Structure 1
Amino acid sequence: MAQKTQQLPTKEATLFRHLLQDYEAKRHKKGLKTADQILRKHPTHGDTQAMKALILNAQGKTDEAFDLCKLALKNAMKSNVCWHVYGLLYKSVKNYEESIKAYRFALKLDPESIQILRDLAQLQAQMRDYQGMVQTRRTLLQGKPQLRLNWTALAVAMHLNGDLEGAEDVLHKFEETLKQSPPKSDIEHSEAILYKNAIIAESGNLDKALEHLNSIERLVLDRTAIMEMRADYLLRLKKREEAEKAYRALLERNPESHAYYQGLEQALELDRSNADDRVKLLEMYRSYAETSERTDASRRIPLDFLEGEAFQQHADKYLRRMLAKGVPSTFANVKQLYEDEAKKQALEKIALQLLSEDSPSSNGAPKEGANGSVDGSHHATKADPANTWQLSVNYFLAQHYDYHRSRDLSKAMQHIDKAISLNPSKTDYTYHMTKARVLKHQGDPAKASTAMNDAREMDLKDRYINTKCAKYQLRNNEHDSAVATMGLFTRKEAVGGPLGDLTDMQCVWFLTEDGEAYQREGKLSLALKRFKTVYDIFETWTDDQFDFHHFSLRKGMVRAYVDMLRWEDRLREHPFFTRAALSAIKIYLMLHDDPKLVQQSQMNGSGDLSSADKKKAAKKARKEAEKAEAEKKAKTAKQAQPKAAADEDGVPKKEDADPDGLELLKTDKPLEEAMKYLTPLLELSPKNIEGQVLGFEVYLRRQKFLPALKCLLAARKLNPQHPKVAEQETRFKAALDKLPEPLPPKVKQVIDASL
């Protein structure tokens, strides 16, 4: 960054170099003194002003930094340093479009600046400007062709821009420049040639990809990736015999991979819907089951395709084996089968039959050891294996009757109580946790929370049950108890206590559950605060990828980097973002329809009070609001003083100016705030019918009739019987009839055609 356009005397030029070093080393106070020392003698030196602005920005004085940088540009309009700093300032406030513009100005003044080109390429990757990224990366390669990173980065840019052939050609040309083959221990080379192979396969030329894969096998360190890619290529090329060998080799490495078994089935051309093929499939899985007593996948998978009597026999054998071993996850392993009504009934019948037996029979059950225990047992006891059998079967049936496809909560409670009475261990919380789940499904969150806390107290060192307990407490609207429970495993010195630590650690499930609990209580400000925090966390995850645009290429982890970019593109289809977004949109719609809810929320949900009590609560709320406003002004005045809270180097400590979300609640434009959540929701989760329903509500209130119609049609396509669809159709037509002015002809034509 140290290109200079305004000449300084020798002494000040030396000070300017020290200024650069101070900034790089984050010695901000010293850097400011150095900058002021230069500016006393040369008050219009733009580069120094720009560097001072950069340091001020690092100290949190963003507005002052921008003002100073604009002054620097006025004094040195042709300084690439000033434009570069201007771009860095915009990048720090996440205004990437303006930052790219500033970098382009800087490049016009210094087209060969490696630092500016590298920063620009990272911004283009962040903004998904792959076409511009190709040009920037090509310039970087021309400047330093000896660096492998520049070749790989150009190939990635071309790949992401859709030019697969060009990306392959760039990687091939770099390989031609190598005078000798890199050693086998070269991870960067190993990843680069695997990446090249993935590009060839993605282009659709599988024959070439397979040939290339065979040629690079000895140079690749990731043996599993080589084997998986070869098996995949052979299968897609319909080379069945070779594909069979490849998948069998993979199963020798990992006999629990369902994907490998599926590949082997396709290689053998066995169809699960064909009765004759099912016999062959069963024999294949039996052969793998016989290779090891410990494997589960080869015993479980046949239940997916077997039917009738064959299914009952295999299910009986499977359940006997698992329940005799006391495997707690037995029900979780088979509940997917409950989508088939016949299989669900068969499993229930088998489980009830097993309950009538005092101990596991020899039919399919594993052999017991000399002490009465079973290999791999989780709950087996040395003294009484029959007790373990009854314990396992009752636990299975409790989960069976608690499951939504076979729900009978009274029976579920009977079986879980029986399991608890048979449980020999007083520290195993598994059964008590299931009892809490049954209570939750019975509609008693208070008892469920108490039962889950009892389970937690059986093992105070277990983080999982601690987390589960906090979740149940939030479902019962016990905010303080949930925070205290989570606080047992958070950092004691964290700013803001356990909740502050959970926020810093981006614990989205807790924040979402906490927000939904506040929403149920009518405390909309705190609910919005939690949902906004979740929104900000997803924004942070989007911004966090910035550092990886250079780091991943420098480390050579190219395949993982491309996967990360594609994952980031669909980040907001995550279920927790969907939940938080839907809840926030509902609140903003309520605020738009009834602005008085702001006051009611501050009264902590006093909707059920009498008229006199409501007046008292409203008066109290006004006083509290006035007090909060006075405190806020005092706090703002205090922060404006020179001795604001900061670390030893002048960087301000982060403080939440709106911990209760009151400012979020007082928004004048609730529908615009709702759009921040709605836009990514509709774009990335278009099959979420609740999102389409709420999208219609937002757009209709904004009188955006075409987007509202789009949401309405999408909801009708997803579920024509949804109760909101018919209602919204009626309201949509009524809204069109009441328009003060007619719609534009083209818009009316589209709407009429759609309806």
Structure 2
Amino acid sequence: MLSRTSNRSSTKRVRPRSANVRIRTDRMSPGLKAADQILKKNPNHGDTEAMKALILNSLGQTEEAFALAKTALKDDMKSHVCWHVYGILWRSVKNNEEAIKAYRFALKLEPDSPQVLRDLALLQIQTRDYQGYIQSRNLMLQQRSSLRLNWTALAIAHHLAEDFKSAENVLNTYEGTLKHTPSKGDIEHAEAVLYKNMIIAESGDVQRALEHLDTIYQTSPDRTAVMELRAKYLLQLDKKEEAEKAYRALLDRNAEYRAYYEGLEKALGLDKSQKQELKELYASYANKNDRIDAARRIPLDFLEGEDFKEAADSYLRAKLHKGVPSTFNNVKSLYADASKLKTIEGLVEGYQSEGVANGDATGATTKKDSFHETTLYFLAQHYNYKLSRDLKKAMQYVDKLIELSPKTYDYHMTKARVLKHSGNISEASKAMSHARELDIKDRYINTKCAKYQLRNDENADALATMSKFTRNEVVGGTLGDLTDMQSLWYLTEDGEAYARRSEYGLALKRFHTVFDIFDVWQEDQFDFHSFSLRKGQIRAYVDTLRWEDRLRSHPFYKRIAVDAIKVYLALHDRPILSQETATNGVDPTDAKAIKKAKKEAERREREDAERREAERKAAAAKKANATADGETKKPDEDPNGKKLRETKEPLAVATRFLAPLLEFGAADLEVQHLGFEVYLRKGKFFLALKSLLAAFTIAPEDPTAHAQAVRFRQACKPLDENKAVLDLASSSLPAPFNDAKADLASHNEAFVKQHADSPRHVYNYARALKALDPSSSQGQKTILEVPDRCKDVNLAQGLEGIALLRELGSEKASIQAFAKKLQDKWPAATILEREASR
């Protein structure tokens, strides 16, 4: 920021630091002393008050900083320094809108301030205000037109605003100012040239993009990128002969990249029906080198019948003789075709039954051939896979493997997976723990062990397992380090384990922690707005911004959001669950159990407090409570999530999790079901109907949508005067839900009769019946018959039935009887007994 002299003092204005620059706390004390000395002589000096506010904010005294900044503005309303600092304070609390307003006001007072302009531009791209960003970058370019990054940044602004012509013109104008041709080693120039090519292509002018690419073909250091783009453009322009040459050149460089083969197929005009031509094409590459895998694996996708069997036999034998443990993972995608599944199963079973451990196709043997053992390992994985599952056979093969090689941890890990799929979670956890003990230095096995322990609700043991590879001296111990390392999988699994036990406080704590990590990722892009421009990594920067725009479409966000919404719905439906005693599986009507649970909760809180105090002292002794830049970590005021659990507005918090899901998961059936559940409870019938209609569009025959439609109609009955909602429902919903006078009870009975052998349909029949007649127990009786009437009920559907019976208020004896029937179908599934006894 440019300094100028105050009207009331000769003290020079000090440049405030930008919001993205951290100030070391060990330098704060002299700064405060200096500010206090100035204010002693000039009590109303606004600039000094503003700088003191900035220091206080860096020390964590945010409220005092804001109060002092407002005082500074009152003392010197026309100081651009005060307004700049005020914007930085708003930026520090992530209120970007207020920060932008303050920066704009500072610019009105000091239009030539480069620091204010820079901070404003960074916030504008952070909030995706492209038009404002263009204006700011134009001004910055006018101030310093000699800097290449200012030209590039303006081009990016136009590009992201989809003004491709202006973006290209900016880059052309800068290139016209160059007095000398950049050298081949100028990486920044080479990247900018490729970025311009990207702009031309995205504008839709592929021919010109190709012509431009040809001019830089010999000079660009990123030869692979140029060759890939050229092949892509030629294919888009239907120049197939040239495209064929381009893709063959790429395959000469890398014959294992599937996308190159796909491009070559298109260039040759081949489709999957031309099997002989495709077979010859891939054979030509396979014959070039015995080590090329892709040319042998890809034909398995399109070959059929005897051709497939011959190719699969050759491929599998070669891999199994070499002892490649990932052979099954390489071919399991073929199992979507039932005929190929049977062919592979027959081939590998044949290898196993040949009785020649070291044999090959001709019966020859080699001493160190692991063919037999690798074949057994393949079969164990094969019968454990969901599309070819036979857990009894899988266990037999695993036991043979362990007998052959008892210290091979891969076999014990496979045994753990088989046990998990059979429902024996406790034994699966033990098996995975044994696998970990066979190689205690392997981080992957350690992680899998912790995951299985969490699935078995062994949270403390899982944390101890993870502690073997974490920094345990930091504040918060192992869990604190896992949070700092943003270990999404652990926090998610940990939260789900607590949610299963109805310990909603800790569950919500974990889910909110993951939610905050996504906020951190969103915030972290702020540093790249300057960094990427300085380093000239333009294409990667644009890709990063586009990835950030869809950040919450990440699978882990959906997972924790769905879990958190379900918890908040439970807290809304049964407010008593927000109490500590109720969230630990205690019957709220049992006074003795409540008293005992309270004592247990007090003991746990006391132990937690003692543990945190010990960790605090240890961290202070080792100076582990400070980051590399001197910032001190704040203690967690709600480590057990008590405040989260006791929220008075669970639906409002649930909506925070739901909004990104609906934005990025419009075609996701589960998301639309959750949207309906939240909005129906909030009384927002238009939004509930919108989610319901989306669900019917995605899956017209979905049983959950049936139950929700019944519930929607029942909820709308008191709203006869709300004509708009009823008219929309009548014109949009499928029959009979479009008729307000339809006999939904009869339709529900017809629905369950039509789908009597489907557990999901039966469960949703019961949900609909509960909405139609809350006093009826017929729905629960029908659920209890599911193990008898539904032959193909699987373990997951059985667990869903147990949860639904509990939700509908069934007696514990009935739930256990239901679990017992399922146990007869799944004798090893100890998880059924565990869930029924909760």
Instruction: Give the drift of 1:653.
Output: 3.1
Instruction: Give the drift of 1:206.
Output: 1.0
- Tell whether 2:389 aligns with 1:420: no
Distance in 1 (alpha carbons) for counterparts of 2:609 and 2:216: 70
Partner residue of 1:697 out of 677, 691, 714: 677
Partner residue of 2:326 out of 329, 345, 349: 329
Instruction: Give the drift of 1:751.
Output: 2.9
Distance in 2 (alpha carbons) for counterparts of 1:402 and 1:622: 41
Match in the other structure for 1:752 = 730
Partner residue of 1:742 out of 711, 721, 736: 721
Secondary structure at the aligned position of 1:460 is classed as coil
Partner residue of 1:592 out of 561, 568, 572: 572
Partner residue of 2:418 out of 424, 438, 443: 438
Secondary structure at the aligned position of 1:112 is classed as coil
Distance in 2 (alpha carbons) for counterparts of 1:391 and 1:19: 65
- Tell whether 2:139 aligns with 1:150: no
Distance 1:31 1:213, change over 3 A: same
Distance in 2 (alpha carbons) for counterparts of 1:417 and 1:25: 59
Match in the other structure for 1:641 = none
Instruction: Give the drift of 1:216.
Output: 1.4
The more displaced of 710-719 and 317-326 is 710-719
Match in the other structure for 2:163 = 163
Equivalent residue letter for 1:189 = H
Match in the other structure for 1:642 = none
Match in the other structure for 1:581 = 561
What's the TM-score once normalised by structure 2's chain length?
0.82
Match in the other structure for 2:455 = 475
Instruction: Give the drift of 1:651.
Output: 5.4
Instruction: Give the drift of 1:496.
Output: 1.2
**Contact 2:2 / 2:113 at 8 angstroms: preserved in 1?**
no
Q: Could you give the per-residue CA deviations for residues 29-54 of structure 1, whole angstroms, max 9, x where no partner exists? A: 11111100100000101010001000
Instruction: Give the drift of 1:384.
Output: 4.5
Distance in 1 (alpha carbons) for counterparts of 2:529 and 2:631: 26
Partner residue of 1:404 out of 353, 367, 386: 386
**Contact 1:427 / 1:459 at 8 angstroms: preserved in 2?**
no
Query: 1:25-174 alignment to 2 at 5 Å?
Result: 27-174=27-174
Equivalent residue letter for 1:575 = P
Match in the other structure for 1:658 = 638
Distance in 1 (alpha carbons) for counterparts of 2:51 and 2:594: 57
Distance in 1 (alpha carbons) for counterparts of 2:547 and 2:308: 39
Instruction: Give the drift of 1:616.
Output: 2.3
- Tell whether 2:283 aligns with 1:303: no
Match in the other structure for 1:284 = 281
**Contact 1:50 / 1:69 at 8 angstroms: preserved in 2?**
yes
Distance in 2 (alpha carbons) for counterparts of 1:568 and 1:227: 28
Match in the other structure for 2:350 = 353
Match in the other structure for 1:535 = 515
Distance in 1 (alpha carbons) for counterparts of 2:209 and 2:598: 75
Match in the other structure for 1:195 = 195
- Tell whether 2:324 aligns with 1:342: no
Equivalent residue letter for 1:62 = T
Partner residue of 2:502 out of 517, 522, 537: 522
Distance 1:402 1:120, change over 3 A: same
Distance in 2 (alpha carbons) for counterparts of 1:233 and 1:622: 66
**Contact 2:382 / 2:388 at 8 angstroms: preserved in 1?**
yes
Q: How many residues were matched structurally?
A: 717
Distance in 1 (alpha carbons) for counterparts of 2:240 and 2:287: 24
Partner residue of 1:681 out of 661, 684, 700: 661
**Contact 2:6 / 2:12 at 8 angstroms: preserved in 1?**
no
Distance in 2 (alpha carbons) for counterparts of 1:130 and 1:208: 26
Instruction: Give the drift of 1:341.
Output: 0.8
**Contact 1:144 / 1:150 at 8 angstroms: preserved in 2?**
yes
Distance in 2 (alpha carbons) for counterparts of 1:261 and 1:450: 45
Query: 1:374-393 alignment to 2 at 5 Å?
Result: 383-385=367-369, 388-393=370-375
Distance in 2 (alpha carbons) for counterparts of 1:430 and 1:598: 43
Equivalent residue letter for 1:498 = T
Q: Could you give the per-residue CA deviations for residues 458-481 of structure 1, whole angstroms, max 9, x where no partner exists? A: 111111111111101100011111
Partner residue of 1:614 out of 582, 593, 601: 593
**Contact 2:506 / 2:640 at 8 angstroms: preserved in 1?**
yes
Equivalent residue letter for 1:484 = A
Q: Which runs of 5+ in 2 are unaligned?
A: 614-623, 734-838
**Contact 2:669 / 2:695 at 8 angstroms: preserved in 1?**
yes
Partner residue of 1:571 out of 551, 559, 567: 551
Distance in 2 (alpha carbons) for counterparts of 1:610 and 1:127: 51
Match in the other structure for 1:640 = none
Pairwise CA RMSD of aligned residues? 2.6
Equivalent residue letter for 2:232 = D
Instruction: Give the drift of 1:257.
Output: 0.4
Q: Could you give the per-residue CA deviations for residues 152-175 of structure 1, whole angstroms, max 9, x where no partner exists? A: 000000000010111011101100
Distance in 1 (alpha carbons) for counterparts of 2:607 and 2:246: 69
Q: Could you give the per-residue CA deviations for residues 470-498 of structure 1, whole angstroms, max 9, x where no partner exists? A: 10110001111111111111113222111
Distance in 1 (alpha carbons) for counterparts of 2:458 and 2:24: 47
Equivalent residue letter for 2:464 = A
Distance in 1 (alpha carbons) for counterparts of 2:583 and 2:569: 19
Distance in 2 (alpha carbons) for counterparts of 1:272 and 1:543: 46
- Tell whether 2:158 aligns with 1:178: no
Instruction: Give the drift of 1:658.
Output: 0.4
Partner residue of 2:376 out of 382, 386, 394: 394
Equivalent residue letter for 2:283 = R
Q: Could you give the per-residue CA deviations for residues 212-239 of structure 1, whole angstroms, max 9, x where no partner exists? A: 0111123321111011101101111111
Match in the other structure for 2:233 = 233
Q: Could you give the per-residue CA deviations for residues 5-31 of structure 1, whole angstroms, max 9, x where no partner exists? A: 624655x449x58999x9966621111
**Contact 1:23 / 1:55 at 8 angstroms: preserved in 2?**
no
Distance in 2 (alpha carbons) for counterparts of 1:340 and 1:483: 41
Distance in 2 (alpha carbons) for counterparts of 1:726 and 1:9: 75
Distance in 1 (alpha carbons) for counterparts of 2:496 and 2:16: 53
**Contact 2:359 / 2:371 at 8 angstroms: preserved in 1?**
no
**Contact 2:197 / 2:209 at 8 angstroms: preserved in 1?**
yes
Distance 1:650 1:290, change over 3 A: closer
Distance in 2 (alpha carbons) for counterparts of 1:196 and 1:18: 36
- Tell whether 2:506 aligns with 1:509: no
Distance 1:146 1:601, change over 3 A: farther
Instruction: Give the drift of 1:578.
Output: 0.6
Q: Which runs of 5+ in 1 are unaligned?
A: 373-382, 635-644
Instruction: Give the drift of 1:622.
Output: 8.3
Secondary structure at the aligned position of 2:81 is classed as helix
Q: Could you give the per-residue CA deviations for residues 256-310 of structure 1, whole angstroms, max 9, x where no partner exists? A: 100011001111111112xxx2111111111211222222111100000001111
Distance in 1 (alpha carbons) for counterparts of 2:473 and 2:590: 46
Distance in 1 (alpha carbons) for counterparts of 2:519 and 2:37: 39
Match in the other structure for 1:496 = 476
Secondary structure at the aligned position of 1:742 is classed as coil
